[in-house]
């Protein structure tokens, strides 16, 4: 089969890109996805994200694990990654966060010309259909539905008040002119209509509405990429496994990798593009030496404090918790509201470890359930938890190959807490988080601290951090954009040294942004589509947005 564009991976980048490129009826677009269609109830129901936690069945989820981490007492980290159309936007907590404007200005100054915040803001707005309407910072007419939460719990408002009691200002828009503060997250959910309260994954936003209506768009699920096909230094297609058969999908114009921070570098290496020593170790012929492939892995490592509560009406293990969920199902089906619509991480904060900082360096996620060791340890009853993470860690890891089999998981080594400054900053964040959770506003809900009640010293707290910390699932950087010797793609996401091959996903981020990574990945794909096809549907919303930052 032959197409103009072959896109590998139907996640946040791939779903967005395939839908945008196929707006031009003159081009043939093929999107391949190893998983399913991403339409099941565990995707549509926001609370279905609980099924993606560690130890649960592998539904729509690669459920990767890291190699043992010395900084985490030799434990293996859990790395859920979406395996269906929509990718990780189909299994995440739906939090709509762009990061701090300074993060993008850093990219621009570091050699990624055209990626300043003024450059990317129009594309965030172009993607966004925000319930609050059009403004200088938000779009109202894009396909990605962004909503205020349907039914936030009162305990979440109490968390915000507790943060304010600790000197943190209230912030009702983390994507507004100021990021610092505490508030409720906006979420990627449908608002209004017959899908009110459902998750709006990238596939639900961009892809599902057009699949079957555009003869120039072919979507192949259950299709695993084996390698990128090369003719010298030019990508010509993708070899895939589908239904037990090996097929070739040819690309007249471009091949685009959208597999994410783990699978995109893996596929490049399987195709002979990467560090020659790594390729030769697995018997892979070197087609193009590119040493940065798989390097520069960055992620948000975090630690959780948990408290038991006597409050009812929350998610929980046991008969009462089950009753709450069962009771909530008809409410959600008929109104889109109630416990099934929760993102679990309803509230949060962006805080500074020191007041003289230009931007927050710590993020909190307040969760309306008990979470111990990232849900590896289960507890009956009700409770609440809070995550603290370092927003811009110094530590760097990598993604390598276990072997030359495309069906094998990549070898993931984030090197969590290998940097002393990261450890010190996380410790500082945990202490501030503990202050908030012990503030008067949460007193009516707070019963007992779950596993750190008697911990007093920094040394004791660091031991708990190393025994329980893990990722909050924001890996980036393994095909980084830039001009230095370790860059994999240029500022227009073209792989250095290989024609007709791009990478369009979170792996191209040169540094980790200060926040959740789904919205930035969709923005990246919107930009890539415009470069690849030309501005054939460059609508008035984007023109207006550009005028705001001109």
Tokens of 89: 């936007």
Residues near 82 by beta carbon (within 8 Å), at least 6 away in sequence: 11, 35, 38, 60, 61, 62, 88, 89, 90, 91, 92
Q: How far is CA 164 from the centre of its chain?
A: 28
The DSSP letter of residue 274 is E
Contact 506, 475 (CB under 8 A): yes
- Phi first, then psi, for residue 347 (nearest 5°) are -120, 170
How far is 538 from 309, CA to CA, in rounded Å?
A: 51
How far is 32 from 223, CA to CA, in rounded Å?
A: 6
3-state SS record for 411-473: EEECCCCCCHHHHHHHHHHHHHHHHHHCCHHHCCCCCEECCCCCCCCHHHHHHHHHHHCEECC
Catalytic residue among 282, 402, 474, 496: 474
Phi-psi region of 207 (alpha: psi -120 to 50; beta: other; left: phi over 0): alpha
Q: Is 474 a catalytic residue?
A: yes
How far is 297 from 111, CA to CA, in rounded Å?
A: 19
How far is 97 from 158, CA to CA, in rounded Å?
A: 22
**What are residue 443's DSSP bridge partners?**
none
Question: What does 32-74 look like in DSSP terms, one character per residue?
Answer: E-SSB-S-SHHHHSGGGGGGGSTTS--SSB--EEEEEEGGGTT
Q: Residue 303 in 3-state DSSP?
A: strand
- Phi first, then psi, for residue 177 (nearest 5°) are -75, -20
How far is 254 from 385, CA to CA, in rounded Å?
A: 46
How far is 505 from 263, CA to CA, in rounded Å?
A: 10
How far is 361 from 305, CA to CA, in rounded Å?
A: 19
How far is 162 from 444, CA to CA, in rounded Å?
A: 12
**CA end-to-end span of the chain:** 44
HSE-up of 280 (CA within 13 Å, CB side)?
6
How far is 350 from 174, CA to CA, in rounded Å?
A: 8
Phi-psi region of 476 (alpha: psi -120 to 50; beta: other; left: phi over 0): beta
Residues taking part in catalysis: 474
């Amino acid at each position: 089969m032959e197409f103009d564009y072959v896109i590998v991976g139907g996640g946040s980048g791939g779903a967005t890109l395939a839908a945008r490129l196929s707006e031009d009826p003159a081009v043939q677009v093929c999107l391949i996805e190893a998983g399913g269609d991403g339409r099941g109830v565990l995707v549509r129901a926001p609370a279905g994200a609980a099924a993606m936690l560690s130890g649960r069945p592998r539904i729509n989820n690669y459920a990767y694990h890291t190699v043992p981490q010395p900084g985490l007492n030799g434990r293996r980290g859990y790395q859920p990654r979406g395996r269906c159309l929509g990718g990780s936007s189909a299994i995440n907590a739906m939090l709509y966060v762009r990061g701090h404007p300074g993060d993008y200005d850093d990219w621009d100054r570091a050699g990624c010309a055209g990626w300043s915040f003024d450059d990317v803001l129009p594309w965030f707005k172009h993607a966004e259909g925000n319930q609050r309407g059009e403004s200088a910072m938000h779009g109202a007419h894009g396909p990605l539905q962004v909503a205020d939460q349907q039914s936030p719990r009162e305990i979440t408002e109490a968390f915000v008040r507790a943060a304010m009691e600790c000197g943190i200002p209230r912030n009702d828009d983390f994507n507004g002119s100021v990021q610092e503060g505490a508030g409720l997250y906006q979420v990627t959910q449908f608002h209004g209509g017959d899908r009110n309260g459902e998750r709006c994954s990238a596939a639900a936003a961009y892809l599902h509405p057009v699949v079957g209506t555009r003869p120039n768009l072919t979507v192949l699920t259950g299709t695993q990429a084996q390698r990128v096909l090369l003719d010298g230094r030019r990508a010509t297609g993708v070899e895939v496994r589908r239904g037990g058969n090996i097929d070739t999908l040819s690309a007249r114009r471009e091949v685009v990798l959208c597999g994410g921070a783990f699978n995109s570098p893996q596929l490049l290496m399987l195709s002979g593009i990467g560090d020659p020593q790594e390729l030769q170790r697995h018997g892979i012929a070197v087609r193009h030496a590119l040493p940065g492939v798989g390097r520069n892995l960055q992620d948000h490592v975090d630690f959780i404090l948990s408290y038991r509560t006597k409050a009812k009406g929350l998610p929980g293990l046991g008969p009462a918790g089950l009753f709450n969920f069962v009771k909530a199902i008809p409410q959600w089906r008929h109104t889109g509201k109630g416990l099934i619509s929760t993102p679990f991480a309803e509230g949060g904060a962006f805080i500074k470890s020191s007041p003289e900082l230009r931007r927050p360096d710590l993020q909190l996620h307040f969760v309306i359930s008990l979470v111990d060791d990232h849900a590896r340890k289960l507890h009956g009853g009700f409770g609440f938890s809070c995550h603290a993470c370092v927003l811009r860690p110094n530590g760097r890891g990598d993604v390598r190959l276990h072997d030359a089999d495309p069906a094998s998981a990549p070898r993931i080594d984030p090197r969590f807490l290998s940097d002393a400054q990261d450890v010190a900053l996380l410790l500082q964040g945990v202490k501030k988080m503990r202050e908030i959770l012990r503030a008067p506003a949460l007193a009516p809900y707070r019963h007992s601290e779950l596993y750190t009640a008697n911990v007093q010293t920094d040394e004791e707290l660091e031991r708990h951090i190393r025994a329980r910390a893990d990722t909050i699932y924001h890996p980036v950087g393994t095909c980084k954009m830039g001009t230095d010797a370790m860059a994999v793609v240029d500022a227009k996401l073209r792989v250095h040294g290989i024609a007709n091959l791009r990478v369009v996903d979170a792996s191209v981020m040169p540094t980790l942004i200060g926040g959740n990574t789904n919205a930035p990945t969709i923005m990246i794909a919107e930009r890539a589509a415009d470069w690849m096809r030309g501005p054939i549907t460059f609508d008035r919303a984007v023109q207006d947005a550009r005028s705001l930052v001109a």
